[in-house]
């Protein structure tokens, strides 16, 4: 690995377990959606996303149908910006009421702290909305980690499997792409980051991926099973 001047990390499957997101966060949002839309569907910040979903589905005019579309997207794990924005607003209630704290792998928090303390700027790039990312790290199992991060990116910058997204992020954080390291559990995301010139590490966690990915399955990306193995 050449010199790294900034680290960009994914969340689900990388700093934190897939099962926490799939088995806790998503079902919480799915259950709360009807009540959330009924209570807050007229607020402009909420309506804008509901209208975006309606427009994309042939102009649905009924909020019940919009909720059904959104619940279907949750079931499919669609990384749609409107869904992610609405999920973030719903999870805010969950964190506020202490219904859950966000999972973070025991190796991730110390490594993030160490890199931060060594002067390495840290950034998040997740399909979860930026407000959801801040809530996540603000209410993690390891406490409030938001102060460790210098910036946050979600799919408003572009999809995670598109090289241009990583070019935009490198420009936004003022780094040459080759000086930034991207960490993710998804090979297609790492391929896009590498195409943009970033350094990459596949985080291949046994808890999330019982079958280790070796050889061709890594697409040539460096591979670790824990943040403790990343020599940044
Ligand atoms: C930080 S919000 C919860 C995670 C989430 O909704 C999500 O889609 C995570 O995707 P990632 O890009 O972090 O793998
Ligand atoms: Mg991920």
Question: 166: left (phi > 0), else alpha (psi -120 to 50), else beta?
Answer: alpha
Is 183 in contact with 203 (CB distance < 8 Å)? Answer: yes
Rg from Cα positions in the chain: 18
CA distance linking residue 105 with residue 149, whole number of Å? 17
Q: Does residue 94 have its Cβ closer than 6 Å to ligand 1?
A: no
Q: What domains does the chain contain, in order, with CATH numbers?
A: 6-16+102-229 (3.40.50.1000), 21-96 (1.10.720)
Smallest-distance ligand from the CA of 128: 1
CA distance linking residue 86 with residue 46, whole number of Å? 7
Beta strand pairing call for 199-203 and 122-125: unpaired
| ipTM confidence | 0.96
Q: Does residue 125 have its Cβ closer than 6 Å to ligand 1?
A: no
Smallest-distance ligand from the CA of 13: 2
Per-residue pLDDT for the chain (232 aa), expressed as one digit of tens each? 789 999 999 999 999 999 999 999 999 999 999 999 999 999 999 999 999 999 998 887 799 999 999 999 999 999 999 999 999 999 999 999 988 999 999 999 999 999 999 999 999 999 999 999 999 999 999 999 999 999 999 999 999 999 999 999 999 999 999 999 999 999 999 999 999 999 999 999 999 999 999 999 999 999 999 999 998 8
Sign of the four-CA dihedral 148, 153, 159, 164 = negative
Is 201 in contact with 219 (CB distance < 8 Å)? Answer: no
Q: Which atom of ligand 1 is nearest to the CA of 189?
A: 12
Q: Does residue 177 have its Cβ closer than 6 Å to ligand 1?
A: no
């Amino acid at each position: 690995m050449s010199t790294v001047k900034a680290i960009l990390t994914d969340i689900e499957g990388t700093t934190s377990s897939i099962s926490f997101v799939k088995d806790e966060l998503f079902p919480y949002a799915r259950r709360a959606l009807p009540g959330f839309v009924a209570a807050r569907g007229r607020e402009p910040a909420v309506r804008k996303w509901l209208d975006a979903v309606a427009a994309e589905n042939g102009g649905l005019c009924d909020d019940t149908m919009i909720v059904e579309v959104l619940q279907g997207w949750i079931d499919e794990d669609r990384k749609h910006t409107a869904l992610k924005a609405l999920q973030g607003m719903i999870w805010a209630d969950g964190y506020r009421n202490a219904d859950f704290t966000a999972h973070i792998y025991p190796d991730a928090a110390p490594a993030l702290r160490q890199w931060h303390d060594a002067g390495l700027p840290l950034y998040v790039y997740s399909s979860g909305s930026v407000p959801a990312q801040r809530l996540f790290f603000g209410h993690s199992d390891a406490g409030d980690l938001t102060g460790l991060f210098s910036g946050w990116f979600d799919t408003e910058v572009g999809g995670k499997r598109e090289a241009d997204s990583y070019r935009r992020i490198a420009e936004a954080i003022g780094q040459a792409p080759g000086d930034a390291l991207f960490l993710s559990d998804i090979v297609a995301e790492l391929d896009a980051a590498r195409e943009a010139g970033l350094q990459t590490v596949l985080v291949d966690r046994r808890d999330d991926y019982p079958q280790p990915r070796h050889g061709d399955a890594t697409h040539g990306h460096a591979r670790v099973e824990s943040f403790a193995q990343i020599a940044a």
